[in-house]
Amino acid sequence: MRCLTLSLILFLAAAAPATAERMVKDSAGRQVAVPDRVERVFAAGPPASVLVYALAPEKLAGWSRAATPAEQAYLAPAYRDLPELGRLTGRGDTANLEVVLAAKPDLILDFGSIGDTYVSLADRVQAQTGIPYLLIDGRFVNTVAALRLTGQVLGVPERSGRLAAYAEATFAGIDARLAQVSPGQRPRAYLARGPDGLETGLRGSINTEIIERVGGINVADASSERQGIANVQLEQVLTWDPDTIVTWDAGFEGAVRRDPAWASVSAVETGRVYLSPGLPFGWIDRPPSINRLIGLRWLAGLFYPGAVGQDLRATTREFYQLFYHVDLDAAALDRLLGPARGKAP
């Protein structure tokens, strides 16, 4: 990340008008002075972009990555063409302090890890720019609290309450279903990322916690404290022998069924390879944000078709109305879900 000269930073900070402030304790325990009225938010990464868009799209200064034409069709028209600002956190950080200051945000918000590395970054950027920087815990278990806290900060408590209630109902519904499922009925699942399917999320990572939250057994166990994304060998997947494979890569999903190297994997043998919907945001991760709530409901239908009765099209339409501010017609649902994914198997 490039740094601005101290004189430029001091000049911009001095030029900023004084505003009423309140103290906010973020998920990392940092006490941050935040304006009483937050009108523009710089999302530090894609997960934060999704969170702010869902709660208060009019406050989002820009996307971490510009939406593709296919993605734009599933976003509210007023926000499809917001500028691409890059990202301060995560893989391939592309934003710098000049970009942040040029966006003139009232607040920088990150949604994800709250570890020491991210605390250090937040403290440094806040000190250099004079812009308050909040860290919100992005773990799936913290979804409800994250929605409520961010809603209070952005001044939209009623809306955040509705989204938090949806999340609570989703988790409660999953727990009720899992109470009826014996350990032997829980799938041994593998998340296949990328065109060769050999990138995955290790057990306990933010990328696969959705699979584990719905009761799936993530076969990618590092047998250590290591978590996160990892590249593995096909021989390791053959040893794990998952009975269910979930992927967001259409190329892999199409190729794996015809690839003799994967043919002996139980999931391929039985046809339990599932392509996750991914517009405008992934349902599994990409990014690991509140977009995973609809993925949780989708996975429940795949993993326990006898125990979960749902109309996936109606469920999807409801979620997109509430979280993405769009009303999907039949054609949009067809493109999103596909004929094979429009209902639980």
In Å, the largest CA–CA distance within the chain is 66
Number of domains in the chain: 2
Percent of the chain with pLDDT over 70: 89
Asked which of 111, 144, 168 is the last residue of a domain, the reply is 168
- Sign of torsion, CA 128 206 140 41? positive
User: Which pLDDT does position 221 carry in this prediction?
Assistant: 83
> Do 129 and 272 fall within a single domain?
no
pLDDT at 32: 98
d(CA 73, CA 192) in angstroms, rounded, equals 26
Q: Is residue 127 in a domain?
A: yes
Is 21 a member of any domain? yes
159 and 196 both lie in a single domain: no
Are 228 and 317 in the same domain?
yes
Yes or no: say if 82 and 108 are a contact pair by the CB < 8 Å rule. no
For residue 174, being part of any structural domain is answered with no
Mean local confidence (pLDDT), 48-63: 98
Average per-residue pLDDT in the chain? Answer: 90
User: Of 135, 168, 201, which closes a domain?
Assistant: 168
Question: Which has more confidence, 34 or 180?
Answer: 34
* β-sheet bridge partners, residue 244: 189
The pLDDT assigned to 90 comes to: 72
Answer yes or no: do 220 and 91 share one domain: no
Read off the pLDDT band of 338 (50, 70, 90): confident
One domain, residues 198 and 160 = no
- Tens of pLDDT, residue by residue over 280-327, are 999 998 899 999 999 999 999 999 886 656 789 999 999 999 999 999
CB atoms within 10 A of CB 52: 24
Q: Are 99 and 90 in contact (CB under 8 A)?
A: no
Is the torsion defined by CA of 81, 155, 316, 242 positive or negative? positive
Do residue 332 and residue 230 come from a single domain? Answer: yes
Is there a domain that residue 241 lies in? yes
pLDDT band at 228 (very low <50, low <70, confident <90, very high): confident
Is residue 19, in this structure, part of any structural domain at all? yes
What pLDDT digit, counting tens, does each position of 103-119 carry?
999 999 999 999 999 99
Q: Structure pTM?
A: 0.90
Angle between helices 143-154 and 157-178 (to 10 degrees): 180
175 occurs within a structural domain: no
Helices (H), 16-142: 46-55, 69-72, 97-103, 116-129
CA distance 110 to 95: 13
Residue 92 resides in a domain: yes
Residue 176 in domain: no
Cβ distance 242 to 208 under 8 Å?
Answer: no
Enclosing domain of residue 148: 6-168
Better-predicted residue by pLDDT, 17 or 161? 161
Instruction: Judge if 158 and 188 occupy the same domain.
Output: no
Mean pLDDT for 339-345 is 39
Residue 67 has pLDDT above 70, yes or no: yes
Query: How far apart, in whole angstroms, are the C-alpha atoms of residue 164 and residue 219?
Result: 30
Q: Which of 116, 133, 168 is the last residue of a domain?
A: 168
Distance CA 235, CA 223 (A): 17
Is the preceding omega at residue 287 within 30 degrees of 0, hence cis? yes
Looking at the structure, do residues 136 and 195 belong to the same domain, yes or no?
no
Please give the backbone phi and psi of residue 204, each rounded to the nearest 5 degrees, phi first.
90, -5
pLDDT surpasses 80 at 2: no
Whether residue 332 sits in one domain with residue 199: yes
Instruction: Report the pLDDT value the prediction gives residue 309, as an integer from 0 to 100.
Output: 65
Residue 16 has pLDDT above 80, yes or no: no
Write out pLDDT tens, residues 199-221: 999 998 888 999 999 999 999 98
Mean of the pLDDT values across residues 2-16? 47
CATH number at residue 96: 3.40.50.1980
The answer on 221 and 99 residing in a single domain is no
For residues 221 and 278, state if they share a domain.
Answer: yes
Nearest alpha-carbon partner for 2 in 140, 97, 71: 97
* 147 and 11 together in one domain: yes
